[in-house]
Amino acid sequence: MIRRRTIFLILMIISLAAVPLSQIYLMQESQPATRIKINSINTKPLGKLGMIVIVDALNTTLLQTADTPNIDQLASEGLSFLNAKTVLPSATTAAHVALVTGAPPEINGVVNTVAYNATKYHELLPDESPDTAFVDYFDMLRVKTLPEIAKENGVKVGLIISKSKLEVMAGLSHAADKMILLPNDVIGPGDPHDASYPYANRLKCIEWITNATLKTIEEFYQYILSGESALLIVHYAEPDYIQGALGVLNPKTIQLVEYIDSQIGRIINELKSLNLWSRTFFVLTADHGFTPVDPNLNLLSNDYMHLSALHIEHIVRETAGLLVFIYLKNINLLQDAVNELKSYPWVRNLWTRYPVENASGTLSDVGLNNEFAGDIVLDINPPYYASKYYGVGAHGGTVTQKIPMIFAGGLLSKNNIAAPSIIDIAPTLAKLYGFNMPNATGKALDIVKPTADVSIKANPGIAYIGTTVNFYLNYTISTTLSGLHASLEIYDENYNKIFSRNESISSTSGSLSFTASIDKEGTYRVLGLIADNDGNILGGKAINILVVKKETVPYPVEKVAIALSITAIFTAILIVIPIKMRRKIE
C-alpha cells in the first residue's frame, strides 16, 4: 500500500510539472520592453534653489577697492547692502551659526568656536584645571539649524565648506544630503594664517570649492527640474586668512578677492546655463568684516589664557582678535575687574553678566547672555588686539560688525527694505520653502517672490495606447494672487508638447484633475504647473508615465494539448498498473 501511494505521488508531481508553464503563460500578459527614463529632457525647472555663498571676512572697504564685475552685476540686478550687520562676536563660527539659526548666540548657544562654561569655572576647586569647563561649538549648540529644518521638510541640502568647524551648520543631526569639506591635501603644508603660505595654494583652495559647488549643482539639477527644492550653502575661507597674514588692502589680498569674484561668476553662469537662475534665491554675504591691527600690540599673555593687564584671577578666550571673553574665578570681583579694565585706552566696550558701574551694558544688550560667554565681554580698540595668531589684521568686535550682503536671482522680489542682519537670512530662506525657523529672532524679509508647491499623480502610471489617464494635481501657493492658472503639459521623449490644458485658479490651495489619452507608445514627461498670465512659473512637479501596446496573447493550444496528453498517459498508468499487480497476486 505504501509503495502504491508513493508511486502515485511521484507520477502526480511529474504530470503537474508539465502544466505550470502553460498556466503561467495563460495568466500573464507580456511585460513591456521599454523602461521609464528618469533623465528626460526638461528645460522648465519647477522646484526652488536657495543658495547662500559666504565669503569669509569680505569687508566693505576691500569689496569697494577690488575690481569685481560679477559681484557688481549681482548688486545692480538684485538688492545690495554695504551696511548689513553681523552678530557679536563678529567671528566665523558664531556668525555662521547665527546665520543658519536666525538667532544670536544667547539663543542658539554658540558664542565662539571654543569657550568655557562660566558657571563650572566659578565652581572649580583650586587644584582643578580650567579645561574641565571647556566646551566646543557642538557642546554649545541648542537649537535646530536651517539645513536641519529644511531636510525635515523635504528639501535637498548641500554644504560645501572650507573649515571643518562649519560642519556645525548641519546641526546636531548632521542634516545634509551632501557635505563637502576642503581636503587637507588641497590646503597643503603650512598655515594659511601665515604670510609664508603660498599664494598659489590660496587660489587652488578657492577653485576647489568652486568646482565642488558646480558638481553639486549638477547633481541637484534633476531634483529641481522635477519640482523638488534644494538648499546649497557654500563657504570660501578667503580672504579671511590672507588679510590677517598680509593686510586688508595688500595688493595680493585685492587680487585674491578679484579671483573669488571670477569664481562666483562661474557659479552664476552655471545656474543661468542650466536655466536654474529663474528658480533661484541667491544670497552673497560675508560673515564678518576685517580691520588692520598692530602685531606688536597683542594684549594676551604668553600662554594665551590671560590678559596681562588684568590682575584679578581669571582666564580668557579670544574670539578673533577684537573681542575677548573674560571668566572671573570669583564673580563677586566683577566690579573691581571692570574698574581696572576701564582705565586702559584699548578698551572700547565692556559688557558684564550683571549690571555694574562703568560697564557699557550687560551681556543681554549684545545677545551674549548665556553661560558660555565670559563674565565680561571685552570689545577692543584697534590697532590693539588679542589673539594667539601673529597677524596684521583682526576681527571679532564692534569695529568689524558691518558686512556686505547681496540678494539676487529669479525668485527675488526687489522690495525696499532696511539694511538687513545676518540673522535675517535663515527666516527669509525658510519663507522661500514655506516653513518657519522656530527659535529665530531675525526677520523673514519681504523680498521673496510668491511660489507654489505642487504634487501630481497619474492613474495608471503605465497606460495602454488610447486609454484614458487621470492626473490629480494638488497645490499650495505662498500668498494670494490673481490671474493664476494650473496647467498640465505632456511631452514626448523628444520634448515635443503633445498635450496642454489650463484651468484658472483663485484659491491659495486646492486639488484639480485632468484627463488625457496618448495614441503612441513611449515614455512621456508630465508637468503640473502653477503659473501667472505672463507665463512665470510659481512652482510645479514633473513625473514620467509609460504608454505601451496592449498585446493579445494567443492561447497556447499545443502546449495545453501536450500537457493534457501527458496527464492522460500517467493517469492510465496509475489505473492499469495496480490492476495488473492485483491479478498477479491473485
Question: What cell numbers appear for 164 in the block?
Answer: 571643518
The string of pLDDT tens digits covering residues 117-135 is 999 999 999 889 999 999 9
The pLDDT, as a whole number, for residue 127 is 84
| DSSP string for 141-204 | --S--HHHHHHHTT-EEEEEESSGGGGGGGTTTT--SEEEE--HHHH-SS-TTSTTS-HHHHHH
Per residue in 163-175, pLDDT tens?
999 999 999 999 9
- Greater confidence (209 vs 550) lies with 209
Between the two ends of the chain, the Cα-to-Cα distance in Å is 16
Residue-wise pLDDT for 83-92, tens only, equals: 999 999 999 9
Residues 232, 50 contacting (CB under 8 angstroms): yes
Number of H helices, E strands in the chain: 16, 24
Identify whether the C-beta of residue 370 lies closer than 8 Å to the C-beta of residue 104. no
Q: Tell me what the mean pLDDT of segment 188-214 comes to.
A: 97
Share of the chain above pLDDT 90, in %: 81
Q: How do residues 251-291 score in pLDDT, each as one tens digit?
A: 999 999 999 999 999 999 999 999 999 999 999 999 999 99
pLDDT digits (tens, 9 = 90+) for 392-418: 999 999 999 999 999 999 999 999 999
Instruction: Say which amino acid occupies 394.
Output: A
pTM of the predicted protein model: 0.86
Q: Is the pLDDT assigned to residue 35 strictly greater than 70?
A: no
Half-sphere exposure of residue 361: CA atoms within 13 angstroms, side-chain side = 10
- What's the rounded Cα separation, in Å, for the pair 267 and 270? 5
pLDDT of res. 82: 96
- Find the length of the chain: 586
- For the ranges 15-24, 206-215, 496-505, the lowest mean pLDDT is seen at 15-24
CA distance 452 to 474: 10
- In the predicted model, what is the mean pLDDT of the chain? 89
As a whole number, mean pLDDT of residues 197-210 equals 98
Confidence at 369, pLDDT banded by 50, 70, 90: very high
Please check the confidence at residue 37 and state whether its pLDDT lies above 50: no
Per-residue model confidence (pLDDT) at position 206: 98
Residue entry with cell 551681556: 363
Instruction: Check residue 562 and give its pLDDT.
Output: 73
421-441 tens-digit pLDDT: 999 999 999 999 999 999 999
Portion of the chain with pLDDT greater than 70, in percent: 87
Q: 481: how many CB neighbours lie within 10 A of its CB?
A: 15
**pLDDT value, residue 557:** 62
* pLDDT value at residue 580: 59
The reported pLDDT for the residue numbered 572 is 61
Q: What pLDDT, in 10s, does the model give residues 211-250?
A: 999 999 999 999 999 999 999 999 999 999 999 999 999 9
